[in-house]
Structure formats: C-alpha cells, structure tokens
Amino acid sequence: MTPLLLILSAPSGTGKTTLARRLVAAHPGALFSVSYTTRPPRGDEKDGVDYHFVSRERFEKMIAAGAFVEWAQVHGHHYGTPRTSIASAASLVVFDIDVQGGQAIKKQHPEAVRALILPPSLAELERRLRARSTDDDTAVRRRLHAARIEIGVAIAAGYEYWVVNEDLDHAYADLDAIVRAEGCKAGRRPLAPDLGIP
Ligand code: ADP
Ligand code: 5GP
C-alpha cells in the first residue's frame, strides 16, 4: 500500500508540532518525518526525535549526496527532509515542514496531501509564541511577520485543506477526519482479489 503523505505547514507557534505528534501517536503504522536542521536544539528537543541536529558542513555533504527530497533555508537555518521518509513502509507519513518544502514534495509526489494549520488570529499566535518562551522579543516579531507572509503563500500555493487550531481537540478531530477520508480515496487500499477488481 502506498503511504499517505500528509504535509502539515503552519506559521511557527500555531501548534502543528503538537498536532503532528498526536496524529502519529494515534495511528499505528504512522511515521513522523524527522528533518535534518542546522539550527541548535530548543528547550527539551531531542536529537533524532524532534530533528536530526547537524553542522552546516554535514548538511552540505548530505545535499551533495542527494540525501534530501527537499531542503530550504528558514529563519537563517537549513532544514531538509530525508528521502528515507518517503521510501518508508509506513501507512501514513506526517511532514512538519514549511510551505516551500510542501510545494517541493507535492511537485515530486502529486498524491501528497497538504494541510495548512492556521491560528485563530494573529494576536493568539503572538500569545502562544510568547507563552512557549523559547524565542526572544526580536525572534517573536520576526516570526509574526513571517506568519502573515507564509499564510498568504500557502493559500496561493493551493494547499488542499485549511485547519484552524483554536481548540486543540477540535483541530485534531479535523486532521483525523482528513486522514480517514484520504484513506478511503479510490485506489488507496488494496481490495480482496476475489472481488475481481484490477
Ligand atoms: P509549532 O510546531 O507550530 O511551532 P507548537 O506545537 O510548538 O507549534 O505549539 C506552540 C505552543 O502553542 C505550544 O506551547 C503549544 O502547547 C500551544 N498550543 C498548541 N495548540 C494550542 C491550542 N489550540 N490552544 C492553545 N495553545 C496551543
Ligand atoms: P522550527 O525552527 O520552528 O522548528 O521550524 C521552522 C520552520 O521550518 C517551520 O515552518 C518548520 O515546519 C520548517 N521545517 C522543519 N523541517 C523542515 C524541512 O525538512 N524542510 C522544510 N522546507 N521546512 C522545514
């Protein structure tokens, strides 16, 4: 069975990592695509779990070796999706990547599904970023400015779904519904041979 490639994009602080983790935990056979990044770990992030934290030199060697299905520079650091995520045997692969990364994967894998996670408002996004207290004031302002641009770009890029993360349980139920519906798409699941359908 080909895995469902689910790309989640959102302005930083919207809650996509929280939602992506919950989705993977709730679906047996699901895989979270762990990206490589040159940014240093934040808070209690763990190497190999949240990201593979690597040096700029190692990242460049991986680009040269063709190890990434896509890579991009975001907020001054490099981020890349390993090809191994796409080739995995999982039934669902969840990507927590930015809009340009989502575009690049969609181009190579048109069957991929992209969901844009939106904050209920810019004011609430600012509140969450400050509550997370992993960024200083300048970084919060930079992320808010980037958020407005990223939302516009994602909408123009034709993201298939919009999920507003006001209430976490509600947003999760929406994402779960998307996964269920996509799993029922014609041709997604193999049928019993005795049904005689090629
Ligand atoms: P992202 O991965 O988009 O940067 P996170 O998942 O790290 O965002 O979430 C940012 C912060 O907002 C975290 O502190 C998280 O617990 C909180 N958060 C996520 N969703 C909600 C929600 N629906 N309501 C309130 N706080 C939320
Ligand atoms: P953060 O530093 O907040 O973890 O991530 C910053 C941005 O980089 C987020 O929008 C996140 O989704 C994006 N990102 C994370 N991994 C990748 C990746 O492998 N490729 C791309 N293009 N973006 C990524």
**CATH (domain of 65):** 3.40.50.300
What residues are in contact with ligand 1 under a 6 Å CB criterion? 10, 12-18, 128, 131-132, 165, 167-168
Residue 193 lies in a domain: no
Domain that holds residue 86: 4-185
Residue 164 lies in a domain: yes
Look up residue 48 and give its DSSP letter. T
Q: What is the pTM of this model?
A: 0.93
What ligand 2 atom has the least distance to the C-alpha of 39? 2
Residue 194 lies in a domain: no
Cα distance from N-terminal residue to C-terminal residue, the chain: 15
Sheet harboring 161-164: ordered strands across? 30-32, 92-96, 4-9, 113-118, 161-164
Is the distance from the beta carbon of residue 93 to the nearest atom of ligand 2 less than 6 Å?
no
The H or E element that residue 166 is part of is none
Residue 192 lies in a domain: no
Give 45 Cα–ligand 2 centroid separation in angstroms.
14
Residue 162 lies in a domain: yes
Give per-10-residue mean pLDDT for the chain (198 aa): 90 91 94 97 92 98 97 92 91 94 95 96 94 85 92 95 97 97 88 88
Is the distance from the beta carbon of residue 12 to the nearest atom of ligand 2 less than 6 Å?
yes
SS3 113: strand
- What total number of domains does the chain contain? 1
Is the distance from the beta carbon of residue 97 to the nearest atom of ligand 2 less than 6 Å?
yes
Q: CA 36 → CA 62, 65, 140, 159, 184, distances in Å?
A: 10, 14, 23, 24, 32
What ligand 1 atom has the least distance to the C-alpha of 10? 3
Residue 196 lies in a domain: no
State which amino acid sits at residue 95. Answer: F
What ligand 1 atom has the least distance to the C-alpha of 171? 23
Residue 141 lies in a domain: yes
Residue 191 lies in a domain: no
pLDDT of residue 95: 96
pLDDT of residue 1: 67
Most informative mutation of 8, 12, 18, 74 for ligand 2 (most atoms within 8 A of CB): 74
Look up residue 193 and give its DSSP letter. G
Give 74 Cα–ligand 2 centroid separation in angstroms.
7
Is the distance from the beta carbon of residue 96 to the nearest atom of ligand 2 less than 6 Å?
yes
Strand ranges in the chain using DSSP code E only, listed in sequence order: 4-9, 30-32, 36-37, 52-53, 68-74, 77-82, 92-96, 113-118, 161-164
Report the distance separating Cα 178 and Cα 163, nearest Å: 10
pLDDT of residue 74: 84
